[in-house]
């Protein structure tokens, strides 16, 4: 069996989509983006697809693709990018559709909580095993902020509770809450892909009836017991009063997506309406947990 052909182009991020289009027009079966310079993304703008300043776009071509012809076609497509260098590699003895699976294994995020890709067996059949594959929406269980939120949810009594996953992404937190006993879970995001991912993941894990998609912030009901939000510092600061309105008095709040050096800013802002419980740090990321007071302090 022949090897699959990989063609790679390093390009500034503003040209990444044009290069991807050129790859697909040249016959690529799929494309992926990678960081070209090991630059971390700390706080992308809400509603945007976060990309690094310099990106490697990789096109995966069928096994019978002629390397010279494919490279020539791609060069023609990229004639406007005079500095674009095309490199070729072979994906040996692998199915291109499954090659990425090697990087995603079951992840334990609590004593009895695992995130398990659908192509893997659950390491602990007695645990809460969330079946979830990486996809277009954020939240596969590998990022420190997701793990912090999952661990916090696993410690909260969710039996019969009403929960909001604000900025649901893949729906991993909403699904986890439902699987750990929440009676009603409301998932909200500003990205349409997040709705699709959350619906699919809820159905895959047997909690479709418990998870309700909210297409607007106004669709989220009040009197919520637990609210979790894994987003960014700027929107978290703007949403403080909204979170307090959604939560019942003494309702529990857990928010992440902020860097450890940003946590003092968040804690100070939230002190007007929330009683701080604790802060947890993992790598350079922080989780802030608190209890809703429901009134502004002066």
3 state DSSP class of 266: helix
Average pLDDT, the chain: 86
**What does pTM read for this prediction?**
0.71
Segment of 112-121, 140-149, 188-197, 262-271 carrying the highest mean pLDDT: 262-271
Residue 161 is predicted with a pLDDT of 98
pLDDT digits 0-9 by tens, 200-215: 999 999 999 999 999 9
d(CA 274, CA 252): 9
The stretch 30-52 carries a mean pLDDT of 60
The domain ranges of the chain are 4-101, 104-292
The stretch 81-108 carries a mean pLDDT of 72
Supply angle C-alpha 238, 239, 244, rounded to 5.
Answer: 135
Residue 155, exposed/middle/buried by CB under 10 A (0-12, 13-18, 19+)?
Answer: exposed
Pick among 3.40.50.1820, 3.90.1150.10, 3.30.70.1520, 3.40.50.150: CATH of 104-292:
3.40.50.150
Residue 43 is predicted with a pLDDT of 45
Local confidence band at 298 (pLDDT 50, 70, 90 cut-offs): very low
pLDDT at 45 over 50: no
Segment of 20-24, 167-171, 202-206 carrying the highest mean pLDDT: 202-206
Compute CA distances 94 → 133, 134, 222, 238, 287, whole Å.
19, 19, 50, 47, 39
Query: Given CA atoms 167, 173, 179, 180 in this order, what sign does their dihedral have?
Result: negative
Look up the CATH number of domain 4-101: 3.30.70.120
Residue 213 · residue 189 · CB < 8 Å: no
pLDDT digits 0-9 by tens, 221-276: 999 999 999 998 999 999 999 999 999 999 999 999 999 999 999 999 999 999 99
pLDDT at 2 over 80: no
């Amino acid at each position: 069996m022949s090897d699959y052909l990989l063609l790679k182009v390093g390009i500034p991020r503003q040209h990444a989509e044009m290069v991807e289009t050129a790859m697909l027009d040249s016959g690529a079966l799929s494309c992926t983006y990678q960081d070209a310079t090991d630059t971390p993304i700390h706080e992308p703008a809400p509603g945007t697809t976060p990309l690094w300043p310099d990106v490697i776009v990789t096109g995966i071509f069928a096994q019978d693709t002629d390397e010279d012809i494919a490279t020539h076609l791609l060069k023609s497509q990229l004639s406007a990018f005079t500095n674009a260098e095309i490199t070729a590699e072979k994906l040996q003895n692998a199915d291109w559709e499954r090659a990425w699976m090697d990087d995603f294994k079951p992840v334990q995020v609590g004593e009895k909580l695992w995130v398990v890709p659908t192509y893997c067996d659950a390491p602990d059949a007695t645990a809460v095993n969330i079946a979830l594959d990486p996809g277009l929406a954020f939240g596969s269980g590998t990022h420190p902020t997701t793990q912090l939120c999952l661990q916090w949810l696993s410690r909260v009594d969710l039996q019969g509770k009403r929960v909001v996953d604000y900025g649901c992404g893949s729906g991993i937190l909403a699904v986890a809450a439902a699987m750990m006993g929440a009676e009603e879970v409301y998932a909200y995001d500003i990205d349409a892909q997040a709705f699709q991912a959350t619906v699919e993941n809820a159905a895959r894990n047997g909690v479709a009836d418990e998870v309700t998609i909210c297409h607007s912030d106004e669709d989220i009901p009040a009197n919520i017991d637990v609210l979790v939000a894994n987003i960014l510092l700027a929107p978290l600061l703007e949403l403080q009063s909204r979170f307090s309105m959604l939560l019942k008095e003494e309702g529990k709040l857990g928010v992440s997506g902020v860097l450890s050096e940003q946590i003092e800013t968040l804690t100070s802002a939230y002190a007007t309406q929330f009683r701080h419980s604790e802060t947890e740090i993992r790598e350079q990321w922080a989780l802030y947990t608190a209890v809703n007071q429901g009134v502004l302090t002066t």
